[in-house]
Amino acid sequence: MTFGVVVFPGSNCDEDAFHAAKDLFRQDAEYIWHKDTDLKGADVVILPGGFAHGDYLRTGAMARFSPIMSSVRAFAERGGPVLGICNGFQILLESGLLPGAMLRNRSLKYRCEHVYLRVEQNDTPFTSAAKVGQVLRIPIGHGEGNYFAPPDMLEELEANRQVILRYTDPNGQLGDEWNPNGSVHAIAAICNRSRNVVGMMPHPERACEALLGGEDGRMIFESIVSEMAVR
């Protein structure tokens, strides 16, 4: 199968996602330039982390106008799996492919550290290898990861089981001090209603090798690789 990693000007985790797919999971991988419209036969599309177009206006606000985004939208509407990581999640929100918005972290500071995440749902292509309730240790690195949705939208998200990962303590218990950015309902990842588009603030590609301090991010890649093998 082929991973398509979209490169916006200012993307800076594109090589990391590519490295994970190609070198660690031995899949085909292609970089897709944001000015192109051809997804190069990708079976999965990753919108990587970074600061697309500098993010001077609002995170992801410019990237949604890149030509490739109409192809990504069409791909998602056909049911193709799309994963937005960090800035990629922000871009999915701005594009309307996922609901809600990002605010600045509650601390008003960028935070880079490992956090604990509880898997809430495993019926998405990116969490199918996990058990519900399983706790993962994966790093974050963002200044605007404070997920926000108005109450009715939030209610709908929860009712439709669209919250995929939540920030918790190492035992999977919710607690304000374990929420690194102030996200409502401790939300770290959500999916769309058809469950093929997932956005997550933590960086699974940074947690795929023991040498780098943890391998819990492999679960995200293992899920999609085995999903696609079945299809």
Partner 1 sequence: MIDAQLLERHGLKPDEYARIVTFLGREPNITELGIFSVMWSEHCSYKSSRVHLKTLPTRGPQVLQGPGENAGAVDIGDGLAAVFKIESHNHPSFIEPYQGAATGVGGIIRDIFTMGARPIALLNSLRFGSLDAPGTRRLVEGVVAGIAGYGNSIGIPTVGGEIAFEPSYAGNPLVNVFCLGIAKASDIIKGVASGAGNSVYYVGAKTGRDGIHGATMASAEFDERSAEKRPAVQVGDPFMEKLLLEACLEVMQTDALVGIQDMGAAGLTCSTTEMGSRGGAGVEIDVSLVPQRETGMTPYEIMLSESQERMLLVVKRGREAEVERIFDKWDLHAVHIGEVTTDGLLRVKDKGAVVAEIPNRALTDEAPLYRRPMEEPEYLAEVRKLDLDALDGQRRLRSSDQDAALLMLLGSPTIGSKQWVYRQYDHMVRTNTINYPGFGAGVVRIKGTGRALALSVDGNGRHCYLDPYRGAMLAVAEAARNVACAGARPLGATNCLNFGNPERPAIMWQFAKAVEGIGAACRALNVPITGGNVSLYNETDGKAIYPTPIIGVVGLLEHADRVVSRRFQKSGDAILLFGVGRGELGGSEYLKVVHDLVRGEPPSLDLDAERALQGLLVALATERLIHSAHDCSDGGLAVTLAECCFDTDGMGAEVTIPDAGGETAAALFGESASRVVVSLSQAHVPAVLQQAAAASVPAQVIGHAGGTHLRIAVAGQTAIDLSIEDAERVWRSAMERYFVRRVA
| Cβ count near 34 (within 10 Å) | 21
Indicate the residue among 96 and 213 with the shorter CB distance to partner 1: 213
Q: How far apart are CA 61 and CA 55, in angstroms?
A: 7
> Is residue 86 flagged as an active site residue?
yes
Find the catalytic residue in 34, 203, 208, 227: 203
Asked whether 66 and 41 are in contact (CB, 8 A), the reply is no
> Using CB under 8 A as the criterion, which residues of the chain lie in contact with partner 1 when the complex forms?
9-10, 12-13, 15-16, 19-20, 23, 49-51, 53-56, 106-107, 109-113, 139, 141, 143, 182, 203, 205-206, 208-209, 211-213
- In sequence order, the 6+-apart residues with CB closer than 8 A to the CB of 146 are 102, 103, 104, 105, 106, 181, 182, 183
CB of 170 to partner 1, least distance (A): 11
CB of 231 to partner 1, least distance (A): 28
Indicate the residue among 13 and 45 with the shorter CB distance to partner 1: 13
CB of 180 to partner 1, least distance (A): 10
- Residue owning tokens 């070198």: 23
The length of the chain is 231
Indicate the residue among 133 and 175 with the shorter CB distance to partner 1: 175
Q: How far apart are CA 41 and CA 68, in angstroms?
A: 13
Find the catalytic residue in 86, 120, 191, 208: 86
Catalytic center residues: 86, 203, 205
